[in-house]
């Protein structure tokens, strides 16, 4: 069973198509990079998967659940990391993880929380620190730990490397690979071509809401990818 399947999904705003007959599928453990500039429809696509927007037509299934007919059930199988992960600033990493896991209906003890934070790449000395002093990269790792605690089947990332320095972006790539190895399907909406080759199994190029190309990431080099991306956006 696919972790995510979109079939001919479309949505319009003010008479213009924001997403146009988009079809794609992710298997468990697969990382898919949805590439495109601002305004291409990437975030709109994520919002439809999450049930925050209802498509005008088409079908969306998350782990076999109809996300349009039953968005709450589909959302229970999904974890979402926005560009800026919001944590309670007065709580520690362990407390934040325990709190958000509880909101998702899962009760975890502090030892399990520390293990999950470690699995997500957060250094041990940060586990008992308040989130108010966390960098963006540290917040993202707590967000991934929340996805692991929730036992999500699908992880959605919106511009995950935006604003990260090279070291933090490399750390995030390692976290994404580890999550993939645990069986999570990961859809990352991004315009960061450099990092795509590090983590993605497949990639698609979105232009004006249309999927204009799709490739196996292992079959294309970084220079060829940049050329392809520019060509498809200019077409």
Q: Per-residue pLDDT tens for 32-66?
A: 999 998 889 999 999 999 999 999 999 999 999 99
Q: Which regions of the chain carry the CATH code 3.40.50.300?
A: 1-77+156-235
- CATH superfamily label, 1-77+156-235: P-loop containing nucleotide triphosphate hydrolases (3.40.50.300)
Evaluate if residue 235 carries a pLDDT over 80: no
Encode 179-193: b = buried (16+ Cβ within 10 Å), e = exposed: bbeeebbbbbbbbbb
pTM above 0.95, yes or no: no
Residue found under tokens 């707590």? 142
Report how far residue 43's alpha carbon sits from residue 17's, in angstroms, rounded to the nearest whole number.
14
Q: What is the DSSP secondary-structure string of 65-89? A: EETTT-HHHHHHTEEEE-SS----T
Q: Per-residue pLDDT tens for 210-231?
A: 999 999 999 998 899 999 999 9
For residue 101, the number of C-alpha atoms closer than 13 Å in the C-beta half-sphere is: 25
CA dihedral 182, 66, 37, 220 (to 10 degrees): 50
What's the length of the chain? 235
> Above pLDDT 70, what percent of the chain?
100
Q: Per-residue pLDDT tens for 108-156?
A: 999 999 999 998 889 999 999 999 999 988 998 998 898 889 888 999 9
The reported pLDDT for the residue numbered 114 is 95
């Amino acid at each position: 069973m696919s972790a995510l399947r979109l079939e001919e999904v479309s949505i319009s705003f003010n008479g213009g198509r924001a997403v146009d007959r988009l079809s794609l599928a992710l298997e468990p453990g697969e990382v898919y990079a949805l590439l495109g500039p601002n305004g291409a429809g990437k975030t709109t696509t994520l919002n439809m998967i999450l049930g925050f927007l209802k498509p005008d037509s088409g079908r969306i299934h998350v782990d076999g659940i109809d996300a349009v007919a039953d968005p709450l059930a589909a959302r229970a199988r999904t974890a979402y990391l926005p560009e800026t992960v919001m944590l309670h600033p007065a709580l520690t990493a362990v407390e934040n993880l325990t709190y958000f896991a509880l909101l998702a209906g899962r009760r975890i003890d502090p030892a399990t929380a520390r293990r999950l934070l470690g699995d997500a790449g957060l250094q041990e000395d940060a586990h008992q620190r308040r989130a108010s002093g966390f960098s963006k990269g540290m917040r993202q790792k707590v967000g991934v730990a929340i996805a692991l605690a929730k036992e999500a089947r699908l992880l959605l990332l919106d511009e995950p490397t935006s604003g990260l320095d090279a070291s933090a972006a490399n750390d995030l790539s390692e976290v994404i690979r580890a999550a993939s190895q645990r069986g999570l399907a990961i859809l990352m909406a991004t315009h960061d071509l450099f990092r795509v080759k590090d983590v993605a199994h497949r990639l698609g190029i979105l232009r004006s809401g249309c999927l204009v190309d799709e490739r196996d990431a292992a079959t294309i080099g970084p220079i060829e990818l940049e050329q392809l991306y520019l060509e498809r956006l200019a077409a």
